Structure 1
């Protein structure tokens, strides 16, 4: 983590170091870029063109995923925006980031590097085993005192709940298809079930790859697992709604 922070600080100061920013503005930029990596490059572009008023707005835009608020990010990214926008009010507020300053190779890899397989992630039940359901719910709802890993598991839990609903809908659709297949078979027509299963398998592959692609596009971002699980939950929720409409018909 120390290496990651130092690398991010170097990235920020090397691109924005020649511009008149106050220390707390560097702090806000560094914390944001540490979490979102190259998605923070546009902020440095705004600094380089002296478009300071655009920095806070862009920071706030990352408090959502697919137009849905991401709990925990709303506070952190809005806070980063507020700190940066405090401008010349040097004594107003400072963000606390523990930064270690020593050389880091430009091509250094971090714990957020490379591919991952979500099937091997620790389950939310195991991760939150030390807390009560009420405590976990409160932390996930508010994002207070939650680390990035905590928030990632909150989003993982959200995905698991969506998956449970999906499985219920799938069971209902499969039962409906089986009944329809009996009539179709007697009439010598193609059956529904084989094609539905192919469609569901293709959908699962699409969802996984879509969320992997969006996550890997973030680069070595500390929040990438949160965005991954939010993506998985959102697309799964959409599938649940689609199947619900199918059952109505």
Structure 2
């Protein structure tokens, strides 16, 4: 089983246009920085075995032992009218389906950009826009042991290994992810979130849960077809969130 995301290991598992070209660095500050302002075509991918400055939403850091995660960014050129938050949900659904296939357990999408397994976070997505180009950064906890996962995170983390007791070939996992992401991205370009809403709705982790949205107690209703999260506050007000910090009661 390979323990690297090198070109030699991953290109064997690439079946579509995503990953052409495929950039690999054993260590870098972040895979997103390898693609921003690169001038590369849509579908270019950058991956690493260790990030020294990985970031998540709201400026949080993404930390992991070297060689334990899938750390990848994909360069995309969606039409200007497409909403960036929708793209994070597209990527999250692709990750959830990839994880499900690997571990044979139900994975869910936690709005706006996390993937959950057994009520714990196994993956996060960060989409960033720069001069009409979007870089979608994805981090999946794969082979970390329990004591290698970070403490004090807002959402309790897990890895595929802690969920199943099995280690996984990260190159195979990445190839599977890129295939699904490419397919879902094309559907989204053609039909918007309507094209994947069935899969997204079926994996809506927050649906019906008690949450705190930007500090306000509420109940999550559903992810809407435009990518917003519908909630009902304790005062009975129904809102649709564009973004924000959503915590759920365990």
TM-score exceeds 0.5: no
Give the TM bin, normalised by the shorter chain. Answer: under 0.3
Which structure has the highest helix share of the two?
1
Larger Rg: 1
